[in-house]
Amino acid sequence: MTNEITSVSGYKWKEREYNSRDALAIAQKLELPEIIGRILSSRGVIPEQAESFLKPTLREFLPDPFILKDMEKAAKTIAEYIINKNPSIAIFGDYDVDGATSSSLLVRYLRFFDINPIIYIPDRIKEGYGPNTEALLKLKEQGIELVITVDCGTMSFEPLKQAKQAGLDVIVIDHHKGDAVMPEALAIVNPNRFDESGEYGQIAACGVVFLLLVAINKILKEFLKTPDLLEMLDIVALGTVCDVVPLTGINRAFVTQGLKVMSKRSNIGIAALMDNAHLLETPTTYHAGYIIGPRINAGGRVGKSDLGTRLLTTTDALEAKTIAEQLNQFNEERRAIESIVQEEAMQDAAALPESDAVIIVARSNWHSGVIGIVAGRLKEHFHKPVAVIALSDGIGKSSARSVSGIDLGEAVITANHAGILLGGGGHAMAAGFSIAEDKISELREFFNNRLAEKVAKLAGEKTLHIDGIISLNGLNLKLAHLIENAAPFGSGNPSVRLAIHNVKIVRTDIIGDGHVRAIIVDSNSSSHSIKAMAFKSANKPVGQALLNSYGKTLHLAGQAKINLWHGKESVDFFIDDVAQ
């Protein structure tokens, strides 16, 4: 079915490739249905790894932190400050979720030893990304002796040089791609340093910070009582999911175990956000990435940059509630601003030549706090890398998002070396840079020359990957639970998408914000019905196909979800696409 059908949305359904021998071996070894074996095999899991994939533990995946370069120097330096009860430490973090979680991990850890560091989160609009000389020198004037940058600093050459000359020690904890030349710092711990193996390059900054804390604990255990780091895994899980790093290996263990900690609601800041969002069920990667994360991000985007870190570190329930309410309000403002910028950016992008390797759009009235989200939306729509630039006084600040197979971070770093940019960096899937307005056309040409061939190879017909084809009668609670065992889902481990063939629509209606709800039955038997939902689709081809197909037979692609209502479980189906 999937090799022949093109959907109402223009997607060709294609089954994911898998190793049939491995799939069968996994199913037999773990006594699972063969379709689960296929799902795991399609994600690169071999029989020997299947059990640990389904039940990832830190014990198995956590590396020796000292394997990373400069880790020993960084850990020993911070341990000395703790042993000597030296409070002159500042944490300089990024304003996104990975930065907020990374900062809060260090703050909570140091507070365990009665050291209350200064937290410095730069203003996205006024200061931009990463350490700046003025801020670092001001921290020095306040008596700070050691600055630890988290989720930033790898490409901050001039600010770190000035800090060193002023007698300020700086430790960089980061995961963004580094250059062959590194800035002047006491230590640079980054799995994506040019001289690292790259084995742990997929770890988010919060994961690198967690490894740092493990290393410090190893040093301090002979001298002091140390905190239980496992209780901080909810913060690590949140940052890992929101930074959209692959959920494989150690990242998978971080998120699996971290979501368990999150469900305990022991972090009153996260609990306050969950309450504010009316999140009552057990948190998943969806909740972390689409409900909790955006609210923390909203502070840096359209509000106060440090609100996310303050929320994650507070021990005051009233303060947590107040900040959560502020962040929720900022998130609503962000949505409104984002909607306007997205509409304008979409119009500008549609007018560009189809041959452009990277879609570059720029306007002077765009809020720089939402351009990253808009870049992601455009990337999904056009299926190619996108850079959205907010201009002000002849200077542009950009957030860029890439597609799988195109390393945009490397391209941005190379453009910076070529003198096209004022600064920039990032990783494969996301990057940021600043640029003079009159250099934008040169950047477009640079990207075309460097990436056009790769982007062209990835172009072609739109494909929707399917993990398996089943009948409606085969979609039951047992299968849904087995699929859930393959969670957490995210980058590197996509949600399982099934194709259900030959279903009949017996009821449809529009609910909420343009969602289409349907009751579906097997075309050959009406004894088994399931509730299906296509979100925000009423005015789109998928929704129209459902609304106009009463009594007709369709094929559906989507995800099985377990619905718990009044203690009773049932299976729902979230529709991604429809074929007739």
Beta bridge partner(s), residue 521 = 504, 529
Q: 10-14, 148-152, 179-183, 523-527 — which one is most confidently predicted on average?
A: 148-152
Q: Does one domain contain both 363 and 321? A: no
Q: Please give the pLDDT value at position 302.
A: 83
Question: Across all residues in the chain, what is the average pLDDT?
Answer: 93
Whether 4 shows a pLDDT value over 80: the answer reads: no
DSSP per residue, 291-355: IIHHHHHHHHHHS-TTHHHHHHH---HHHHHHHHHHHHHHHHHHHHHHHHHHHHHHHHHHTS-TT
Structural domain count, the chain: 3
Residue 460: predicted pLDDT: 64
Structural contact between residues 193 and 200, judged by C-beta atoms closer than 8 angstroms: no
Inter-residue contact 533 to 517 (CB < 8 Å): yes
55 located within any domain? no
- String of DSSP letters for 235-250: HHHHHHHHTT----HH
Q: Are 271 and 386 within one domain?
A: no
Least confident of 73-87, 292-306, 336-350, 352-366: 292-306
Q: What is the DSSP letter of 289?
A: I
Banded pLDDT at 129 (limits 50, 70, 90): confident
Over 70: is that where the pLDDT of 286 sits?
A: yes
Q: Is the pLDDT of residue 463 over 90?
A: no
Q: Is the CB of residue 471 less than 8 Å from the CB of residue 522?
A: yes
**Nearest residue to 68 (alpha-carbon basis) of 228, 242, 212:** 212
Between CA 460 and CA 453 the distance in angstroms is 13
Q: What CATH number corresponds to the domain at position 119?
A: 3.90.1640.30
Q: 166 and 302: one domain?
A: yes
CA–CA gap between residue 516 and residue 508 (Å, rounded): 7
The reply to whether 434 and 472 lie within a common domain is: no
| Cα 360 to Cα 351: distance, rounded to the nearest angstrom | 11
pLDDT at 468 over 70: yes
Q: Across residues 102-131, what is the average pLDDT?
A: 94
Please state the three-class secondary structure of 77-145 as a single string. HHHHHHHCCCCCEEEEECCCHHHHHHHHHHHHHHHHCCCCCEEECCCCCCCCCCCCHHHHHHHHHCCCC
Residues 311 and 412 in one domain: no
Please name the amino acid found at residue 41.
Answer: S
Structure tokens at 188: 């640079």
Tell me whether residue 58 is in a domain. Answer: no
Could you tell me if residue 49 is inside a domain? Answer: no
Lowest mean pLDDT of 475-479, 528-532, 565-569, name the range: 565-569
- Do 491 and 398 share a structural domain? no
Q: Are residues 317 and 376 in the same domain?
A: no
- pLDDT for 84 equals 96
Average pLDDT over residues 30-53: 95
Q: With respect to residue 447, please indicate whether it lies within any of the assigned structural domains.
A: yes
Distance, CA of 177 to CA of 217 (rounded, Å): 27
559 is a domain residue: yes
Residue 94 in domain:
yes
Query: What's the rounded mean pLDDT across residues 308-316?
Result: 96
Q: How confident is the model at residue 213 (pLDDT cuts 50, 70, 90)?
A: very high
Query: Is the CB of residue 270 less than 8 Å from the CB of residue 238?
Result: yes
565-580: buried (b, 16+ CB within 10 Å) or exposed (e) per residue? eeeeeebbbebbbbbe
Whether 135 and 265 map to the same domain: the answer is: yes
Check whether residue 308 and residue 443 sit in a common domain.
no
Domain CATH code at residue 381: 3.10.310.30
Threshold 0.85, pTM exceeds: yes
Q: How far is it between the farthest Cα atoms of the chain?
A: 78
Q: What is the mean pLDDT of residues 464-481?
A: 92
Tokens of 386: 């996108």
Q: What is the mean pLDDT of residues 124-139?
A: 91
The string over 499-531, giving b where at least 16 C-beta atoms fall within 10 Å of a residue's C-beta and e elsewhere, is bbbebbbeebeeeeeeebbbebbbeeeeeebbe
> What per-residue confidence (pLDDT) applies to 142?
97
| Per-residue pLDDT at 464 exceeds 50 | yes
Place of tokens 């000035």: 162
Query: Which CATH number do you get for residue 563?
Result: 2.40.50.110
Domain-embedded: residue 56: no
pLDDT digits (tens, 9 = 90+) for 223-281: 899 999 999 999 999 999 999 899 999 999 999 999 999 999 999 999 999 999 999 88
Question: pLDDT tens digits, residue range 329-382?
Answer: 999 999 999 999 999 999 999 999 999 999 999 999 999 889 999 999 999 889
CA distance 497 to 576: 8
Amino acid residing at 1:
M
318 and 378, same domain (yes or no): no
Closest to 313 measured CA to CA, from 274, 272, 269: 269
Token readout for 350 is 């549609």
Task: Give the domain extent around 218.
Answer: 63-329
At 2 the pLDDT is 46
Q: Does any domain span residue 304? A: yes
Residue 318 shares a structural domain with residue 365 = no
Residue with tokens 């979230």: 574
Same domain, 419 and 516: no
